[in-house]
Structures are given as C-alpha cells and as structure tokens.
Amino acid sequence: MRREELRVLLIVCLGTFFHIQSVGSISISLSAIQQEFGASLAAVQWIGLMGAIMLSSLSLCFGRAGDLIGRKLIFKIGLTLYTAGAGLAAISDSFPQLLAFRFTMALGLAMAAPLSAAIIASVHGSESRGQALGWLAASIALGRTTGPTIGGFILHLWGWRAVFFANCIFGIATCLILFLILKGKEERRKGSFDFLGVFSLVIGFPSLLIALSLGPRLGWNASEIMLWLGLAAAGIVSFLWRELHAKAPLMNLFYLKSIPLVRSMLSLVLSTLAFYPVSIFGPLYLLNVIQASPLSSGLAMAALPLCTTLLSPISGRLADRVNPRWVAILGLCIILLGVFFYARLGEGSNLIWIVIVLSILGAGIGLFVPANEKAAFATVPSRDYGMLSAMLTAFGTGSGALGTTVAVALTEVARKGRISGDAAGFAYDQQFAFSLLLPLAALAVLVTIVGKRQ
C-alpha cells in the first residue's frame, strides 16, 4: 500500500472501531440507566434499538449524499455528531434528554458507518482493495469484541455516565486525527437528491423493524402490529416505486440487473439471517443452559468476533490474489458448518466444544465478508461506491434484525409444543430455531456457487 492509502485506511478503521465498540459499551449500561431514571424496559430498549433502526433506514440516504457532496465530509460530520451526542448524553438530567442525545448519536452513526467501506474502496486500487476491506472488517469485529468489556469495566468503576464520557473523549481524539488526515476538498457531483425516497424509507423500514420486534410479544394479530405492518408495506412499496422512477435514486435498482451484484447481496442477506441470531441466543444459552459464569460466558462469546478479527485481513489478502467469489464461498461453507454445529448444541454440550463452534462461525464470517464486499465493489462504477456501501450496510443490518426476530418467533413455536424443563427446554427451542435457519445458510452457498464465473 502507498503511504496515503495506509493513512486513510488507519483513520477510517479507527473511526469505525470507535463507533462500533461504543455501541457495545452503551448496551451494557442499559440496566443502570433504567435504575437511575426509573424508565420502563420497553423505553430503555430504544437506546439500543435506535442505532439499528437509524442505520437501516438512513444508510442509503447518506450513501447518496456522500456520492454527491463528499464521502469524507459526511464521514467526518457523522463522527463529530456521534461524539457530541455522547458528551451531551453523559450530562442528561432526564430520560427524555438522554433519548434525544442518543438520537443525535444514532444519526451520526447512520452518517459515518455506511461510508467507511466506500472511502476505502475509492482510495485503494483493485490490487489492494480486498486487503483494505479485510482490515476494515477486522476493526468492526474488534469493536464488537472489546465494546462490552470496556463498557463493563468503566461501568463497574464509575457508572453509566462515565461510559458516555469515555466515548466522548475517545471520539474527540479520533475526530482530531480524522480532520488532520482526511484533508482537502472532494470533487462534488451535480445531481438531485431523492427526498421523497428518503421519506418513504424512513416510514417503511423502521415500521417493519418495530412490527417484527413487538410481534412475538403482542401477537401478530394485534391491532398495533397490523398498523405498523401497514405503514411498513406502504413505505416500502412507495420507496421501491420511487427508486424505479426517480432520476437520481438513493438505490439504483437497475444495478441489480448485474448477476454478480445480486449474488453478493443475496448471499449477504441469507447468511446474516442464519448466523446473526447467535449473538443474541449464545449468551442466554451459556448462562441458562450450560450454567457458565458471566465471565466464562463473555469469554466464550468473544471467540466469535475474535476469530472474525483474525481471519478478515487474511480474507482480504486472498481476495486480492484469487477470484474473491471463491474466497466468499469458502467463508460461506464454514459459516454453514458453524450454524450446523450450533444447531446441535444441547443441555450436555461441553464449554470447550461451544467455544470451538463459535470460533468456526467467526472464522467463516471473517473469510466471507471482505471477499464478498470486494466482489460487490467490482460491479459498480466508483462514483456510486457510497450508494453500494450504504446498500451493504442497510441489507446486513436489516437482515440481522430480521433473522433475530424470526429465530425468537421460532422458539415461541417450539415452546408451545414441549413439556420439558427450562434448561432442557431452551436448548430444544434453540435447536429447533437454528435447524430451520440452517437451510438459509445452505442456500447462501448455493447462490454463490451457481452462475457464471465472474
């Protein structure tokens, strides 16, 4: 890599690591926040859900904005907003204030996260792009590994406000480096912005996520759920119609005529649907079924993102030397193997074997993601890298939320048909859910294999 490429890679990876680890550190503080403000669990959950909802619904908006007025500019504004929101959240006097400042943080996250891959892809040529994307994926996985640990340590010593203060201090340091390195004016493109598309998407996708989150608890026939589903359908259908007819769409659907791009997107969605619920079910399984201590459970779960961190740079390096599609296929096959083994974990499973299974799954994700991203970036012109990066972010986040919701719904179905005790019952419910998710991982492998070699 050239010196300039390396500098951009390091600062973008640092910024990405910052906002990813801070999400984990904040999530560990939710119980303490609830106790201080006396808020309901449903209200406190919005602190965690807000980031996912904003990221899923606004990624395409800021991806398009980055392509028009400058990706580095939007990235810098996003991290600055996130940092400012963290500082203000730390001094909140009430829960509504905290929620408002968390909204500011989520908005900054939605601006910065979708453009990190686009900035790296635009700076690095095809001979080193895979390796660079691999390091970006490693920084994301490392953030997920360390976030809860860092947050838990700060929470234990100084309380939840210190968690936000720490994020603010780290964010200020990151922003100073960011503004020093990502200097210079970017070329701006002339073009219109699809505000109607943004409006439709902001109505449709969050409504879908809310309906999917509340459905298992309230019942799918509840009037409230039907209302959210109706809004989701109206918003999403309106968005798709708009994107087909707008002169400058947020998501150029005509690019989906490209078989390689469809293959990359479909394999991302299918595999994420299958493996993402492990991050939610894993800790519950370790604590409630295996009866592992909180420390042992945390260390065991850390094996998944740690292996992703280690394998992502290797995947990127391989994708620069061979067809990235075959590296992605290898990763998907390992993901399939990991989900297969996880679906068979039971009440008597050994902790060491569980760590091995989680490591297999993490290794597969680490091999798949960077190679799949490089294959996707090869299908569109560089002027639309922001849009593509936003699509990868939105599709990955949305399918992860959907996969978790489906897995929870499947456990509810399994629970109605069993009479076993709690520990054995949860193990059976989990096996039932992941056995039905397993074909999605297999389909992801099949989708990537079938078709012309490109």
Mind listing the pLDDT tens digit for each residue in 39-91?
765 567 677 667 777 877 788 788 888 888 888 888 899 999 999 999 999 99
Do 126 and 149 sit in the same domain of this protein? yes
- Render pLDDT for 146-170 as a digit per residue (tens, 0 to 9): 877 787 778 878 888 998 999 899 8
Helix (H) or strand (E) holding 153: helix 129-158
Do 218 and 150 sit in the same domain of this protein? no
Do 300 and 358 sit in the same domain of this protein? yes
- Residues 403, 253: Cα–Cα separation, whole Å: 24
Residue 131: name the closest of 370, 376, 365, 390 by CA.
370
- Contact partners, residue 402, CB within 8 Å, separation at least 6: 212, 273
Task: Tell me what pLDDT residue 186 has.
Answer: 65
Q: Tell me which residues of the chain have a pLDDT lower than 70.
A: 1, 40-43, 45, 48-49, 184, 186-188, 191, 213, 216-217, 294, 417-423, 451-454
- Domain count of the fold of the chain: 3
Do 289 and 399 sit in the same domain of this protein? yes
Contact 179, 64 (CB under 8 A): no
Do 43 and 155 sit in the same domain of this protein? yes
> In the structure encoding, which two tokens stand for residue 131, read together?
């390796």
Last residue of a domain, one of 189, 213, 234: 189
- The residue segments making up the domain with residue 415 are 254-454
pTM across the whole model: 0.80
CB atoms within 10 A of CB 170: 20
- Contact partners, residue 445, CB within 8 Å, separation at least 6: 267, 329, 332, 333, 336
Do 137 and 206 sit in the same domain of this protein? no
CATH number for position 348:
1.20.1250.20
CB atoms within 10 A of CB 244: 11
Do 56 and 148 sit in the same domain of this protein? yes
- DSSP 8-class letter at 221: T
Do 160 and 200 sit in the same domain of this protein? no
Do 12 and 155 sit in the same domain of this protein? yes
- Contact partners, residue 149, CB within 8 Å, separation at least 6: 298, 302
Do 185 and 198 sit in the same domain of this protein? no
CB-neighbour burial class of residue 185 (10 A; exposed 0-12, middle 13-18, buried 19+): exposed
Do 135 and 220 sit in the same domain of this protein? no
Do 262 and 360 sit in the same domain of this protein? yes
159: left (phi over 0), alpha (psi -120 to 50) or beta: left
Contact 85, 101 (CB under 8 A): yes
